[in-house]
Amino acid sequence: MIKKERLNRITEGIIGAAIEVHRDLGPGLLESAYETCLAFELVECGLKVEQQKPLPVVYREVKLDCGYRLDLLVEEAVIVEVKAVDRLAPIHKAQLLSYLRLSGCKVGLLVNFNVKVLKDGIRRVVNDFPDSPRSLRAPR
């Protein structure tokens, strides 16, 4: 099991890298551009990154490819969902919570690059994180 401290360090590194990408590129580009640049930046920071990783759905004990893809999976532990939208909507959080549940990961980041200040576009989403308040946990 991945320790809480390690997950916190990974998410801090991702946020720092995302800030660097946003500082360089600013808002207004396509999600795919931000995703590629963020993946590059994370690798430069020494993190293991998988881009557009397939996420199967397990149905009746069979893994089925239903077309789900994780934008980024960092250190095999944290899912990063990249957005370039006017504002994050509840459906974006629901999407990431579903990915967390299907993958077994505990923490994900929604990163919306289409904002003036990136800290306004980052949301941390938790699925059964150790010691997390019940209200932050994904529904079962």
DSSP 53-67: EE-PEEETTEEE--S
| Cα atoms found within 13 Å of the Cα of residue 6, Cβ hemisphere only | 10
In terms of Cβ atoms closer than 10 Å to its own Cβ (0-12, 13-18, 19+), residue 101 is middle
pLDDT in tens, 66-91: 889 999 999 999 999 999 999 999 99
pLDDT in tens, 41-71: 999 999 999 999 999 998 898 889 888 999 9
Number of domains in the chain: 1
How would residue 129 be classed by pLDDT, with cut points 50, 70 and 90? low
Of the candidates 87, 70, 56, 13, the residue with the CA atom closest to the CA atom of residue 21 = 13
Structural domain including 74 reads 4-136
Residues 50-61 as b or e (16 or more Cβ within 10 Å = b)? ebeeebeeeeee
Q: CA-to-CA distance for 99 and 87, rounded, in angstroms?
A: 20
